[in-house]
Structure 1
Amino acid sequence: MAVDKLWVIKIGGNIIDHPEGLRRFLDRFASLRGRKVLVHGGGKIATRMAADLGIEATLVAGRRITDEPMLRVVTMVYAGLTNKQVVAGLQARKCNALGLSGADGNSIKAVKRPVDKIDYGFVGDILPASVDEEAITTWMESGFVPVFSAITHDGGGQLLNTNADTIASALAVALSSRYDTSLVYCFEKRGVLQNVHDEASVIPEIKAADFEGLQAAGIVADGMVPKLYNAFDAIAKGVREVCIGHADDLHLLHERRFGTRMVR
């Protein structure tokens, strides 16, 4: 029996924060064939909204501390303003999007991150079996395109701010038991580059066996290392492939010419 194709696509602030870039992305996403799920964060909009409200944003090593006032802001921005702008944009393109947080339909639960050296506040970590793939499948089979914000819940009434990359990976892994699933991360580069200063030097495919050598050569370094670790972890858990590339190239997915593909 044929298994339907599913794309789980994550976009970040480099798209959300730029109206023209977001417009181009929504054009391409709406035109993408097959079942699809979109995951987004809130970019810098939450930080600006917090400043407007007199709430100071605190970052530690690039990670947001989510105290109670900041949780209210990120919920308003991620699950409210940003999510509904994206959904309205997709509706204008005849793509029947359904805007969601993890609390909706009990679709994604998380646990509050334990305090170690740093108290991140109301930040959620996703555990195995956190995703209700039955609910999400029902929405997709009914013709909806789920659009998830980076807000989850703990099942006890508490909302949690959760990393959008992590949400996308958890969704892809959970849904890979039902669909032929590809996980796609859109970021500011064309893919993993052989030469970080040359946008034309995209490495088209990386296998798990290549990863260590690329690290040793310094080709995969800094923030790209955890991205690839997470990619190969998702593949090991059932995702067919993970693709990393620029949102403007999304239309190349069907031609298998989008960015860099990580495969088993």
Structure 2
Amino acid sequence: MATTTPYDLLRAELQRDSARPLVTFYDDATGERVELSVATFDNWVAKTAGLLRDDLATDSGARIAVLLPPHWQALVWAAACWALGACVVDSADGADVLVVGPDTLDQAATTEAEEVVALSLRPLGGRFADPLPIGVLDYAVEVPGHPDRLAGYVPPAATEPALEHRGISHTLSGLVDQARERGDRLGADPGARLLVSTADLRTALLDALLVPMVVGGSAVLVRNEADGTRDSRIAAERVTVVAPAGAESEDAGAKSEDAGPD
């Protein structure tokens, strides 16, 4: 049976080779480097999905505004949403849950979302150093108590809306199809290791998460790439494919074939 959702891809990769790297994250502005194996990434996804489902009453069809930069924790949040059949959206308007980082925390004061979760984006997933506004949950405080596996898991339908970006909606299965097409265009062979340097979350979700899972490979996701570091990083990380910038514009001009309801 063909894999039809992003969470299917992740679970298949967990069974195939759980110890291999899936995402290696760099932030050249802070010097941070974090590497997550398939198993570790899956644990974070399960815990985050547990937080969404059990604490925030999130289910299929929920709209989750993920207002984060391209960061490994943003990839985790998207994968957790897709595991439950929730849709990742790029605007707080009409969202059920708002997920913010330090640069978007001010939106917590004006949102109509019922729940707000904030991520410090500090190394190793650390909590905020200063108190958060009343009603805003600190992700690093809330998520550790959730299990590493999703007990009582009911898979969502592959036709559930999964990503809404710049007015374009994609289903769970549509994202997988798009990742396969993108992998083909990039020449990402089985086991490919992709270098993805971007300031756009949509690009990171496609090139640094979905494409690597489709091809059974991994990604090096770079934020705030410093000048003159690319060649040495490609060699050190054994990169085989460099994803060009601008993937975010590929679907900006027209409605996707798998576009869902507005």
TM-score, normalised on structure 2?
Answer: 0.30
TM-score, normalised on structure 1?
Answer: 0.30
